[in-house]
Amino acid sequence: MLDIKFLRANPDVVKENIRKKFQDAKLVLVDEILEMDGQIRDVRTRYEYLRSQRNTISKQIGGLMAKGQREEAEAKKAEVVAMADEMAQLQTKLDKLSADIRERMLVIPNIIDPSVPVGKDDSENVELERFGEPVVPEFEVPYHVDIMEGLNGIDLDSARKTSGAGFYYLKGDIARLHSAILSYGRDFMIDRGFTYYIPPYMIHSNVVTGVMSFAEMENMMYKIEGEDLYLIGTSEHSMIGKFIDTMLDEDQLPQTMTSYSPCFRKEVGAHGIEERGVYRIHQFEKQEMVVVCRPEESPEWFTKLYMNTVDFFRSMDIPVRTLECCSGDLADLKVKSVDVEAWSPRQQKYFEVGSCSNLGDAQARRLGIRVRNKNGNYLPHTLNNTVVAPPRMLIAFLENNLQADGRVRIPEALRMYMGGKEYLEAAKK
């Protein structure tokens, strides 16, 4: 959410930013906000005048009563009552205007960073850099579910019976590999100085609207019926939410956190062969990284965060690339975003395994997170990035480490979490 003072002073900048995000239907909101903002100032001016007059007249009443001028005192009391009634009406109008402005401000997109390429959708995202040599083996790489079934590591049929589409049972070495990757991701981030958290998996609606846009909330979140609670779609929601209505001392920054959680999402995703299996699902687990920092430090942290993911995947011999998200592909709260994509030998293309976002001060403003220093208070910047989400990451892992004989090589970094195993062996028939 933008600062109303910024919008008031820079309406043309806000409108141009809306155009860059190809959301022209929202242009009218800027003018509506400015009109209502003017009304609020008029209402406040009238309210303050009445309050001043009421205080003055209230003092006069006591003097008139002391002098025995009862009729004059009663007339003044009637004036005070009339003023109080008008002030109550003005307060109601003020509350309504403030709510209407906030409703509109919440859907106006954040000002994107000047470096963000302008484009309508993800087809216009821009590749930044590649890490590792993408390899296409001489043998055919099976679909990831077939690899898992060959290792006796997945049961989709039973999950469909218990839960429906978009769920799975992992078992045996594949289930162990899933947990191993999460454990390795946790330790990888701890070794880089991040504090490990296991957060709440449900949050209140005021936290939800503080960390994400209404459109994202509607498309992603599962609500707990009859309660003001939502299942989280990522632990970033809980981790940023923990600072709601908090005043931090500047020496407490940066807050560098890595958090584990299950994640719950409504959307199964687009159609296509890569969308089946465990690519897009309703339930998964993820290791996340979250930073709360000084505004001037957020660009440096942004690069550090997505490079953490690059380094993590490269430590397991998985080729990756970084992709700059264009303006039309950015969620409304984001200032800048870079996706990390892993190489798929089977599809011979890269696919998303992580997304790094700088949200500027948008979440801090919505949630009331402030920082105190000797010069006053300010809003910190918040950033988040995926360390690893194993179900999707398993696709890249299995395809890139598959051997011609059906075994899957375990990179050295993971072996201590897999009981020293160097390979996953195909199930005996």
Which among 265, 346, 365, 370 is annotated as catalytic? 265
Positive or negative CA dihedral for 37, 41, 42, 44? positive
Find out whether the peptide bond into 319 is cis, omega within 30 degrees of 0.
Answer: no
Residue 352 annotated to the active site: yes
Three-state secondary structure readout of 335-399? CEEEEEEEEECCCCEEEEEEEEEECCCHHHHHHCCEEEECCEEECCEEEEEEEECHHHHHHHHHH
CB atoms within 10 A of CB 422: 11
Q: Residue 270: its pLDDT value, please?
A: 42
Name the residue type at position 207.
V
pTM attached to this predicted model = 0.87
Number of residues assigned to the chain: 429
Name the residue type at position 11.
P
Residue 265 annotated to the active site: yes
What are the pLDDT digits (tens) for 161-176?
998 887 889 999 999 9
What single string gives the DSSP state of each residue in 230-274?
A: EE-SSHHHHHHHTTTT-EEEGGG--EEEEEEEEEE-S-----SGG
CB burial class (10 A; 0-12, 13-18, 19+) of residue 189? Answer: buried
Tokens of residue 320, six digits? 């990756």
**CA distance linking residue 275 with residue 42, whole number of Å:** 54
Which contiguous run of DSSP H or E holds residue 288?
Answer: strand 283-293
Tokens of residue 343, six digits? 């190489």
**CA distance linking residue 235 with residue 286, whole number of Å:** 8
Cα 317 vs. chain centroid, distance in angstroms?
A: 29
What are the pLDDT digits (tens) for 191-239?
999 999 999 999 999 999 899 876 677 777 899 999 999 999 999 999 9
Tokens of residue 100, six digits? 């209407």
Residue 337 annotated to the active site: no
Q: What is the pLDDT along the chain (429 residues), one digit of tens a residue?
A: 899 999 999 999 999 999 999 999 999 999 999 999 999 999 999 999 998 998 888 888 878 888 888 888 888 889 889 999 999 999 999 999 999 999 999 999 999 999 999 999 999 999 999 999 999 999 999 989 889 999 998 998 898 899 888 788 999 999 999 999 999 999 999 999 999 999 999 999 999 989 987 667 777 789 999 999 999 999 999 999 999 999 999 999 999 999 999 999 886 444 433 345 666 678 889 999 999 999 999 999 999 999 999 999 999 999 999 999 999 999 999 999 999 999 999 999 999 999 999 999 999 999 999 999 988 999 999 999 999 998 788 999 999 999 999 999 999 999 999 999 999 987 665
Asked if 416 and 180 touch (Cβ cutoff 8 Å), the reply is no
**CA distance linking residue 205 with residue 95, whole number of Å:** 20
Which among 355, 365, 366, 370 is annotated as catalytic? 355
Name the residue type at position 378.
Y
Rounded alpha-carbon distances, angstroms, from residue 214 to 207, 218, 426: 12, 6, 46
Rounded alpha-carbon distances, angstroms, from residue 44 to 82, 110, 165, 290: 17, 28, 55, 40
Which among 58, 352, 372, 409 is annotated as catalytic? 352
Residue 218 annotated to the active site: no
Residue 315 annotated to the active site: no
CB atoms within 10 A of CB 186: 19
Which among 238, 259, 274, 280 is annotated as catalytic? 280
